[in-house]
Amino acid sequence: MVAQLTKNERQIALVILLVMAAVGLAMAAGGRNDPFGVHGALVMVVAILGMFGVISGYYAPEPPEDRLDSYYDAPSKFGIIAAMIWAVIGMFVGDWVAWLLAYPDWTFDAAWASFGRLRPVHTSGVIFGFGGNALIATSFYVMQRTTRARMPDQLSPWFVLLGYNLFCVIAATGYLMGVTQSKEYAEPEWYADIWLVIVWVTYFVLYMRTLARRKEPHIYVSNWYYLAFILVVAMLHIVNNLAVPIAWGSAKSYSLFAGVQDAMTEWWYGHNAVAFFLTSGFLGMLYYYMPKRAQRPIYSYRMSIISFWGITFFYMWAGSHHLHYTALPQWVQSLGMTFSVMLLIPSWVSAGNALMTLNGAWHRVRDDAVLRFMMVAAVFYGLSTFEGSFMAIRPVNSLSHYTDWTVGHVHAGALGWVAMITFGAIYASVPWLWKRQAMYSAKLVEAHFWLALAGTVIYVFAMWNSGIIQGLMWRTYNESGTLAYSFTDSLIAMHPYYVARAIGGLLFLLGAVVGCYNIWMTIRTAPSAAPETAADRPVLGGAVLQPGE
Amino acid sequence: MMSIDHDILVWFSKSFGLFYLIALSIGVLVYAYWPSNKKSFDQAAQAILVDDDKPYRG
């Protein structure tokens, strides 16, 4: 890694690490026994190890000038491996908390193993660890290819990736120590938030600098989606995390907002995290990897532009549907509901565009599990955006809100759409990045596909059943006008579904583990691609031409 | 100094919000369907399928 940096970049890296070590030391000294101090020590140790790493490679020869003849892919490789590691961690903890819901005694009487601390490890692990690393890795890959420009330097992509993973580690370890600002999907405290802003702005600047060097006059649509992801996530993150720490040496802070303003800011953030982290970025991925793998251009480039602006400007107003029947003014609730229903149009335009792209390549979908991952992702994208618009309607929400239906909906999106498109993109990228003919085992990709699909279907059906039963039990009255069921009654009714959900999650996790093994073996043992075939073409099963080709 | 109260904000969102979103939608549709843009869109859609895995160095 250090050998790929120029002399100048190695010096800058040392300065950055020195500053980080100093900040870490100050945090450790100021925070003492507070988790803030523990995180300070962590930052200091990481920075010092990094300095050793840079110094040991400092006198290595500078990278040759001909590096500029190829794209800079080492950061993408790192990001993909990091994404798979976070996938296993995040999904393992997710399945753990799923079993905890079915068998609440399994916490070993330890504070760190309580549901409230483990659950954000799961959500941050899969969304930010797995999803975020995959987005950063693929965005580096896609932005360079679609602009036909190499990244402007070698240092900033590493700063973005390593800095981002440091944020993820601080977040996850903080939750286990009880650090949280109690905002869903924005749990990390103020110091972690400030660090993420620095990393994220560097990411944005790197993307813009690469775009400025582009050799293609038109900016391909994937870049628009990735840029919306980067820009809007920065905006959401900064506004929602405005807070004042109770002391410089303390992890605890108080939000700038209170009451219903706080709730509205949080769900403006929360729903747009779904929109711009979990949708926009992954649509960018879809619009590059799906046409590439299917070897067909997007069905309608125009539709991809129209749905981009639709998604970007409609989602911004949909967040208030999380606050139906609350102290939020009625008209703001109605506004959120209306925009959520309108969102169905650009969402289905995107899903339809993806499926129409495959029209004519169905034989490839049949034979190639990698492309099938992407196809199923587009189907689940269509399903869960329909479900989301439906659930945002106020009377429907009165049944679904606070029930497992919401959890099922989120996982239809997260497992069925986000994880499927990511696995598809990763399986496509690994042979391209490591210059292999194909994945080590097409059979294992196939196995992963069926494990992931079975896991998702079991999970989503279990939560639909559980959620609707819950919702109905909570609103059933007896003749005297009081509730017919106690809350405990509804818990007992949910138990079998919780076990089913945990089994579905286990299948999904097993699929990810199979994927890790397959990727590892591809990197280690798969035969190299001949140089002139560029390894950029998917190799199907037996490489036999299909009828009609 | 004029104070920005709840009613003014509601009035603003219900009027300005409506018109700028309609204007934006029209703008996007015109851009997407403008005949002379079709060529560069088609080119962009096809360009990613080319397997020339090298940055351009002119």
CB contacts, 8 Å: A291 with chain B? 45, 48-49
SS3 A455: helix
Q: What is the pLDDT of residue A99?
A: 97
User: How many beta-carbon pairs below 8 A join chains A and B?
Assistant: 82
Helix H or strand E encompassing A310 = helix A301-315
What would the mean pLDDT of B28-57 be, rounded to a whole number? 92
Q: Say yes or no: A226 contacts chain B, CB-CB below 8 A.
A: no
* Interface of chain B toward chain A, CB-CB under 8 angstroms: 6, 10, 13, 21, 24-25, 28-29, 31-33, 38, 40-49, 51-58
Helix H or strand E encompassing A479 = none
pLDDT at A538 over 50: no
pLDDT interval class at A534 (50, 70, 90): very low
Report the amino acid identity of residue A472: L
A residues 418-457 closer than 8 Å to B (CB) = 432
Cross-chain Cβ contact B44/A150 below 8 Å: no
CB contacts, 8 Å: B20 with chain A? none
Condensed to tens digits (0 to 9), the pLDDT of residues A338-380 reads 999 999 999 999 999 999 999 999 999 999 999 999 999 999 9
A346 touches A314 (CB < 8 A): yes
pLDDT at A258 over 80: yes
Least confident range from A26-30, A53-57, A63-67, A472-476: namely A63-67
β-sheet bridge partners, residue A244: A254
SS3 B18: helix
Cross-chain Cβ contact A302/B24 below 8 Å: no
A415 touches A342 (CB < 8 A): no
Mutate to test the interface with B, among A302, A330, A350, A436 (most CBs of B within 10 A): A302
Q: CA-nearest residue of chain B to A308?
A: B28
Q: What is the pLDDT of residue B12?
A: 85
CB contacts, 8 Å: B47 with chain A? 146, 216, 220
pLDDT at A29 over 50: yes
Q: Backbone dihedral region of B54: left (phi > 0), alpha (psi from -120 to 50 degrees) or beta?
A: beta
Listing DSSP states for A370-393 in one string gives HHHHHHHHHHHHHHHHHHHHHHTS
Cross-chain Cβ contact A218/B56 below 8 Å: no
pLDDT at A549 over 50: no
What would the mean pLDDT of A198-216 be, rounded to a whole number? 96
B41 touches A218 (CB < 8 A): yes
CB contacts, 8 Å: B38 with chain A? 302
Select the residue of A69, A291, A302 nearest B32 (Cβ to Cβ).
A302
Select the residue of A309, A329, A534 nearest B53 (Cβ to Cβ).
A534
Which residue has 């944005």 as its token pair?
Answer: A204
CA dist., res. A146 & res. A150, Å (int): 10
Q: What is the pLDDT of residue A530?
A: 63
CA dist., res. B58 & res. A498, Å (int): 60
Condensed to tens digits (0 to 9), the pLDDT of residues A420-439 reads 999 999 999 999 999 999 99
pLDDT at A535 over 80: no
Tokens at A474, concatenated: 């909570």
Q: What is the pLDDT of residue A259?
A: 94
pLDDT at A253 over 70: yes
Select the residue of A215, A297, A335 nearest B45 (Cβ to Cβ).
A297
Q: What is the pLDDT of residue A531?
A: 55
State the average pLDDT for chain A.
94
What would the mean pLDDT of A196-201 be, rounded to a whole number? 98
Q: CA-nearest residue of chain B to A144?
A: B55
Q: CA-nearest residue of chain B to A292?
A: B49
A203 vs B19 pLDDT, higher one: A203
CA dist., res. B51 & res. A306, Å (int): 28
Q: What is the ipTM of this complex?
A: 0.90
pLDDT at A478 over 90: yes
Cross-chain Cβ contact B45/A298 below 8 Å: yes
Rounded to 5 degrees, φ, ψ at A263 are: -60, -45
Percent of chain A with pLDDT over 90: 93
pLDDT interval class at B5 (50, 70, 90): confident
Q: What is the pLDDT of residue A299?
A: 97
Condensed to tens digits (0 to 9), the pLDDT of residues A7-22 reads 999 999 999 999 999 9
Q: Say yes or no: A330 contacts chain B, CB-CB below 8 A.
A: no
Cross-chain Cβ contact A295/B49 below 8 Å: yes
Q: CA-nearest residue of chain B to A217?
A: B40
A27 touches A39 (CB < 8 A): yes
A252 touches A105 (CB < 8 A): no
β-sheet bridge partners, residue A255: A243
Cross-chain Cβ contact A215/B10 below 8 Å: no
CA dist., res. A469 & res. A96, Å (int): 24
Cross-chain Cβ contact B51/A295 below 8 Å: no
CA dist., res. A298 & res. A277, Å (int): 22
CA dist., res. A72 & res. A141, Å (int): 8
| Cα torsion through A34, A38, A44, A46, rounded to 10 | -150
A445 touches A369 (CB < 8 A): yes
Condensed to tens digits (0 to 9), the pLDDT of residues A491-526 reads 999 999 999 999 999 999 999 999 999 999 999 987
Q: What is the pLDDT of residue B6?
A: 80
Select the residue of A149, A291, A329 nearest B49 (Cβ to Cβ).
A291
Condensed to tens digits (0 to 9), the pLDDT of residues A263-297 reads 999 999 999 999 999 999 999 999 999 999 999 99
Tally Cβ neighbours within 10 Å of residue A74.
16
A71 vs A545 pLDDT, higher one: A71
pLDDT at A546 over 50: no
Q: What is the pLDDT of residue B52?
A: 79
Tally Cβ neighbours within 10 Å of residue A480.
6
pLDDT interval class at B2 (50, 70, 90): low
Q: What is the pLDDT of residue B1?
A: 54
Condensed to tens digits (0 to 9), the pLDDT of residues A124-147 reads 999 999 999 999 999 999 999 999
**Which of A298, A330, A508 has the alpha carbon at shortest distance from B32?**
A298
pLDDT at A543 over 50: no
What would the mean pLDDT of B2-7 be, rounded to a whole number? 78
Q: What is the pLDDT of residue A537?
A: 44
CATH superfamily of A74-528: Cytochrome c oxidase-like, subunit I domain (1.20.210.10)
Listing DSSP states for A396-418 in one string gives HHHHHTTSHHHHHHHHIIIIIII
pLDDT interval class at B10 (50, 70, 90): confident
Q: From residue A202, how far is each of A128, A157, A164, B44 by CA, in Å?
A: 17, 9, 11, 27
